[in-house]
Structure 1
């Protein structure tokens, strides 16, 4: 299996009841939950119905791929999805379909949508075009099936933001988001496969759905979306279902609601990965870190300090629900991509071009991690001692990397051969090839 290591030093780790650092504890229970559910198909839990619920495969894909070699495994699951597709084009929510579930439990765009999203993720992660090409006609049949449920751009059917504690969440927001992700991905897939007409058609459908949700759910008077709950606002921001000139206003409301909740999340598994994307994309990694390091209910840390050894189904991981679920494991990919800082450049596929940009947040003094790409292992290690910041990067053979080094004063010390590209917003940006690289700077994070 393709493994990823993560290690952090937290200045207040002694406050926790576990001897492990909190972030590493969350990483550990997430990995345990994944491993305990990959004995055959990817199941939701090993103790209850043991079914292959599909939404986890696409929602938690980045964490799966960062920890294990998932290429062959998920290609097999995609084939299982194709085998289970009905004559109408439906992809059932559990595959293989050992039992036919009723209504929305069998038909939800965020579950069946894995048939489109997982192949797209296989392409972006491993450069796999074969799976795209093989199942493209069947993916189109699934999109056509979903379209029969769409009215005026909105798909008001499904399970909503599953397991959210927010009872005000509008079901149509999650259903339409799932449909939007399917046609958005199909537009990109069509582009990769050279089908320009389909790419334009699916792009038009995606844009129409986003605009339909904006018209129905964005309240310009209050600057809120879908009643103002975190999950609805996260999905709106992720899919662009908000007027461009109102985006910052909606983002500010979302951040304010998270702060007001004591940096706890009040949302479900569908909106959870989007929450981390939206916050990080807007420069709020500090908010994500505060969410990740809460130890009061509901939070990941609550599970760690109360002795859970695997991630639970509910936010508290308490009795009455599965004690071994990975559906809430999206935070682990934030550890890799932001704390360790290992990503691939926007628009790239197969990790041939890396983007190394660790987030130096909170009380973390250091973090290190690795990601085994198709080209080999990429790794990072950074350490901060007061204002002295050091970053070490390993780039595998055949790959290149754009490295972002935070700096508040003076010049960055970089190994010979690192090519300076630009400076932007207190960051020096370098381009490097394969090999080991070191950088040093003077950096004082805001608030220190």
Structure 2
């Protein structure tokens, strides 16, 4: 007898299980032709349907799933390259013939709004099995939901809902890119979407597990591939891009900041060092990294802003490892990575910052997309600002350059999935909700509201109408902006020990309400702007935390009433709120 020794190690399940959540009834059913019935559940999402049907023994029923239907009402894959998902992916059921039977998949799931069943009728008398009922059951990680948010603008609420269902439908035992075609564990979304997904679910244990997957996937030369678990080996930049593999050094810092958790630092330190040593071999011009996917998703290509994005990610990874070394008491490592990061910052500005003011009346960042010219685009400015790479004397210049690029683009999005997050972050810092909403509401793509006007209930993979995947979350970074700039909530120190609320005074919103169940308890915020009562807020500050109201001027005033107490007058641009429930009347 021969024994096979598997090259694997069994580990306990550290992440939450995958469970069923909401149950949806169909909003409509249509007989497309005798024997073919289509059900519309009104919401695209990850689903495991449950079907009750009766019919004769041996009768065969085919169940097809789709995010889109054609003009004839039949399931449709819009991208002809993936037409196999329309014709070749289905479930076939053979009836036992013992009355009403229930069928549900044992293990598989997909993303669907529409379910097409073939070989059935909706009522008896047609010589076909009869569908008695069907429900769509949302399946996702059991990690608890943490945040809620609603405004007085229905299109914004629809966008928030679209982002929520896109996120929730991609969180399982790892973070999938889409739940119906690839189901791959691409890593860029783990860190790009972390400030957004922390409002969706408690991500601490799932991110910790993903880091274990990255360690398992790391190659002997130190390279961390673009996906973990590495379900499929990719080639070129689809295998080796720091914006993806850099999650090994970015996620530990995310765990520290949002959850005050450093438990992964010890086991991640060596993998992080090995990855940086590998990336160092890819440096160009003394420190630039530009061999990867760049601003992936911009015109559905790669190569845009490679040096800006990938070098900035490199810099952030080095700073994170410097912090990790300090936390672990590795003084030599701390010094090594501080000097290393300082060198990359110098090279970044030497190569990409233009200060001669011959092309524009201010300093700005150029890309290296065309080495024969110094261009100026919004992503180059936003990346430098958000990664703290801009020398202090040029910050106002680069902010001005950023706003000028928005104006030049008629406030249309000019970013792929990587740069997109940093556009919203920069516009939040500059307090320009008007530009964000104009970008989101464009008639043509790129546009979130175009998705909504076309009836989409989850995000498409790219800025396209006829997209292969209509449940991708990579464009959902605007969800972070909604919490930070509309609700006004932003963590300031670890695990929300201190946090800020910046009321959306410059926005069109007149009523915003939301909650966040942070590690210390429930934060509640309501903002009301009334013609008769002025601007008021209700805020709940959980125990062991301090919230700060951010107002526009040091002369700003607020009447603050703590539950059970008397009104007090406060003045300043930053007003502290200790644990308790408050009502505030603002005089900004």
TM-score normalised by length of structure 1: 0.88
Q: Structure 1 residues 104, 335: CA separation in 2 closer, same or farther (over 3 Å shift)?
A: same
Contact 1:231–1:268 under 8 Å retained in 2: no
For residue 33 of structure 1, give the secondary structure of its aligned residue in structure 2.
Answer: helix
Contact 2:557–2:569 under 8 Å retained in 1: no
Q: 1:256-279, CA deviations, whole angstroms, 9 ceiling, x for partnerless residues?
A: 221232322101111111222222
Give the aligned partner of residue 159 of structure 2.
Answer: 26
Does 2:541 correspond to 1:395? yes
Q: CA deviation at 1:379?
A: 1.4
In 2, Cα distance between equivalents of 1:148 and 1:164: 27
For residue 276 of structure 1, give the secondary structure of its aligned residue in structure 2.
Answer: helix
Pick the aligned partner of 1:339 from 486, 503, 509: 486
Q: 1:397-442, CA deviations, whole angstroms, 9 ceiling, x for partnerless residues?
A: 2222122246898842111579888613xxxx22122121111023
Q: CA deviation at 1:2?
A: 2.3
Pick the aligned partner of 2:245 from 106, 112, 121: 112
Between stretches 248-257 and 189-198, larger displacement belongs to 189-198
Q: How many residues align?
A: 426
Does 2:473 correspond to 1:326? yes
Q: Structure 1 residues 410, 435: CA separation in 2 closer, same or farther (over 3 Å shift)?
A: closer
Q: 1:148-191, CA deviations, whole angstroms, 9 ceiling, x for partnerless residues?
A: 21230111210111111398834222221221121122122223
Give the aligned partner of residue 287 of structure 2.
Answer: 153
Contact 1:92–1:112 under 8 Å retained in 2: yes
Contact 2:459–2:473 under 8 Å retained in 1: yes
Give the aligned partner of residue 354 of structure 2.
Answer: 219
Q: Structure 1 residues 241, 433: CA separation in 2 closer, same or farther (over 3 Å shift)?
A: closer
In 2, Cα distance between equivalents of 1:431 and 1:242: 30
Runs of 4+ in 1 over 6 A off after TM superposition: 407-410, 417-421
Does 2:521 correspond to 1:376? yes
Pairing 1:238-249 to 2, within 5 Å after superposition: 238-249=386-397
In 1, Cα distance between equivalents of 2:470 and 2:209: 27
Q: Structure 1 residues 395, 294: CA separation in 2 closer, same or farther (over 3 Å shift)?
A: farther
Q: Structure 1 residues 195, 359: CA separation in 2 closer, same or farther (over 3 Å shift)?
A: farther
**Structure 1 residue runs without a partner (length 5+):** 11-20, 444-448
Does 2:202 correspond to 1:37? no
From the two aligned structures, give the one with the greater helix fraction: 1
In 2, Cα distance between equivalents of 1:312 and 1:184: 34
Pairing 1:60-139 to 2, within 5 Å after superposition: 60-139=193-272
Q: Structure 1 residues 307, 375: CA separation in 2 closer, same or farther (over 3 Å shift)?
A: same
Q: CA deviation at 1:358?
A: 2.5
Pick the aligned partner of 1:3 from 146, 164, 168: 146
Higher relative contact order (CA 8 A, sep 6+): 1
Does 2:495 correspond to 1:350? yes
Q: CA deviation at 1:119?
A: 1.4
Does 2:506 correspond to 1:361? yes
Give the aligned partner of residue 181 of structure 1.
Answer: 316
Q: Structure 1 residues 131, 420: CA separation in 2 closer, same or farther (over 3 Å shift)?
A: farther
Give the aligned partner of residue 49 of structure 1.
Answer: 182
Contact 1:414–1:440 under 8 Å retained in 2: yes
Q: Structure 1 residues 113, 422: CA separation in 2 closer, same or farther (over 3 Å shift)?
A: farther
TM-score normalised by length of structure 2: 0.68
